[in-house]
Structure formats: C-alpha cells, structure tokens
C-alpha cells in the first residue's frame, strides 16, 4: 500500500497486488478517491501493456490517455480495455471517481513470441489501442487477477494457461490444425502425465510441460485438453483429489495431514475443494466409503 505522501491528488488510498505467470506480470490496483484524478500509469520500457477496469464507482467513466490533457478520442464501450506498445507513456483520468479496481498486464514481446511459438510476425504489438472491447479477454483478465493471491499449487498452471490464452487471443495468428496434430501424441501424453504425477503436489509451470512436448504453450494447452478432456491445471487438481481419496481410505491421518500431503493450504481449503469436486466433505466421504 502506498503512503499518503505518494498518493496522487484526490486519491485517499491506493493498494496493489501482483504476481508473475509465464513471463507476464499481472498487477491489480485499487484506488479509493474523492473526485477528479489524473495518474501516470506504470511504464515498463521493454514491455507491452494491456489494461482494463474491473470495477468503477463514480460519475462518468475513467479512461486511459496518451497525454494528461488529451481526452481519449475513442467512444466509450462496455468493459473497455487499452493496449500500449513498449515505451508509450499513459495516464489514467477520471472526472469524479470514488472507487476504481483496475488490472494491468505487462508482456515481454520477445518472450511472448517465443512461448506462443510465433514463427512469423505476431499480431500488431506496435499499434496502440486506447479503447477497445473483447469480452473473452476481459473475462480472462478478471480470472487471472482473482488468482493473484491463491497459494494453491494448481494456481501456477491455471495462471500460466490464462496468460497464454490472453497472449494468443491478442497476438497469435490463427492456425489450422488437422487430425492428430490437435492432440498430444501417446508419448507426449505419457510424458506429461508421468511428470505431473512425479511432481505432485508441487506446482508445475505450463512452460515446463510445453518444453517437454516440444510445443508452444498455446498449442500445448489445446492439445492437452483435446487428449484428456481437461486443461492441465484441472488434471492436476483432479489427481490431487484422487490422491486425497486414497489417503482418506487407507490411512487414519487427520484432514489437516491429508491436506498438507496433497498440497492444499489447510484443511478448510482442502475441504472446500474436495466437496466442490465430489459433492461430499472429506469426513463424510471417508465415513461413507468405510461403512
């Protein structure tokens, strides 16, 4: 949290939280305000930036600007986003704001191109877009910011997949993938599942799985789901729950012990996830299966 001496005019509280996935820095910024605000947005000289508002309270609409005194020339759209090339300065402006919750994502262009497997020129990374809408990207950004504080090991693969999906949606040129090319080969699938099993319950990065298969991350995510019916993070979570079932049936460990052994933060987190995936609490499931 910033202290009062650092706060822009009419901003009474500013909080930030961030996390890095897939070489992509994701930041959640919340402003509590009392009127007109004008703030210079963070500027990363080598990073392209994508941002959006997630929540807004006040009169009028907050907007990104290319200069402090130059209004955004594009008409308002629902769930507005902006895209800024590397080295382009940006300001955020609101005429009368009370609360703003914003997301800012910074990409390293070269790393993004490598991880998405873009062999030719990617989509327009050098063309600013000060206001546009894409409901799918907006939803992916919201899910990504929701996961910033999630300590669960599965959140790594989950966030990696979301970050890759955002990059692919914005920059990757469409590819036509036919036949078996849309799935992992039997050897690739065996290697992936073996690696996930061996690492359980530790966190696994999508980049590692994709490198193991010799595929780009965006291609790998699609191929894994086509092969298993689940995204990599879903498979990992399901496997952890299956291991938890084995421990519940074959040991007398308390729920806290089972939670720790399967990578959950605590018994409460474990119980909530287990019930969501099985329809029963761990204690009730154990009692029913042992009856």
- Please compute the mean of the pLDDT values over residues 252-273 and round it to a whole number: 93
What stretch of H or E contains 146? helix 135-146
Structure tokens at 15: 């909080």
- Please compute the mean of the pLDDT values over residues 107-112 and round it to a whole number: 78
Higher per-residue confidence, 113 vs 249 = 249
Q: How confident is the model at residue 5 (pLDDT cuts 50, 70, 90)?
A: low
- Please compute the mean of the pLDDT values over residues 116-129 and round it to a whole number: 69
- Choose the most confident range, by mean pLDDT, from 42-51, 69-78, 114-123: 69-78
Residue 229 makes CB contacts below 8 A (sequence gap 6+) with: none
- Please compute the mean of the pLDDT values over residues 153-180 and round it to a whole number: 78
- DSSP-derived 3-state class of residue 106: strand
- Please compute the mean of the pLDDT values over residues 86-99 and round it to a whole number: 93
- Please compute the mean of the pLDDT values over residues 171-200 and round it to a whole number: 78
Residue 125 pLDDT: 73
- Please compute the mean of the pLDDT values over residues 246-269 and round it to a whole number: 93
Residue 121 pLDDT: 53
Q: How confident is the model at residue 42 (pLDDT cuts 50, 70, 90)?
A: confident
- State the residue for tokens 């690739």: 188
SS3 track for 1-31: CCCHHHCCCCEEEEEEEEEEECCEEEEEEEE
- Please compute the mean of the pLDDT values over residues 125-138 and round it to a whole number: 90
Residue 185 makes CB contacts below 8 A (sequence gap 6+) with: none
Q: State the pTM of this model.
A: 0.86
Higher per-residue confidence, 50 vs 46 = 50
């Amino acid at each position: 949290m910033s202290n009062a001496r650092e706060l822009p005019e009419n901003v009474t509280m500013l909080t930030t939280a961030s996390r890095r996935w897939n070489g992509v820095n994701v930041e959640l910024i919340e402003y509590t305000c009392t009127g007109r605000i004008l703030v210079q947005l963070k500027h990363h000289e080598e990073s392209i930036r994508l941002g959006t508002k997630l929540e807004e309270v006040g009169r009028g609409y907050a907007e990104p600007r290319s200069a402090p005194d130059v209004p955004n020339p594009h008409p308002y759209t629902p769930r507005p986003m902006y895209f800024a090339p590397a080295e382009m300065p940006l300001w955020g402006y609101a005429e009368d704001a009370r609360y703003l919750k914003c997301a800012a994502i910074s990409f390293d262009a070269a790393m993004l191109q490598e991880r998405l497997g873009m062999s030719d020129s990617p989509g327009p990374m050098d063309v600013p877009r000060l206001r546009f809408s894409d409901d799918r990207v907006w939803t992916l950004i919201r899910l990504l910011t929701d996961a910033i504080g999630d300590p669960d090991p599965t959140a790594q693969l989950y966030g990696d997949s979301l970050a890759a999906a955002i990059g692919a949606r914005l920059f990757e040129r469409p590819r036509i993938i036919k036949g078996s090319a849309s799935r992992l080969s039997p050897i690739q699938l065996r290697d992936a599942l073996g690696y996930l099993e061996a690492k359980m319950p530790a966190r696994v990065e999508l980049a590692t799985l994709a490198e193991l298969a010799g595929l780009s991350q965006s291609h790998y995510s699609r191929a894994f789901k086509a092969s298993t019916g689940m995204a990599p993070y879903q498979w990992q979570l399901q496997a952890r729950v299956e291991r938890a079932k084995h421990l519940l049936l074959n040991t007398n460990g308390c729920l806290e012990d089972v939670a720790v052994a399967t990578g959950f933060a605590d018994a409460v987190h474990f119980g909530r996830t287990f019930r969501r995936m099985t329809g029963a609490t761990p204690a009730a499931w154990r009692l029913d299966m042992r009856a």
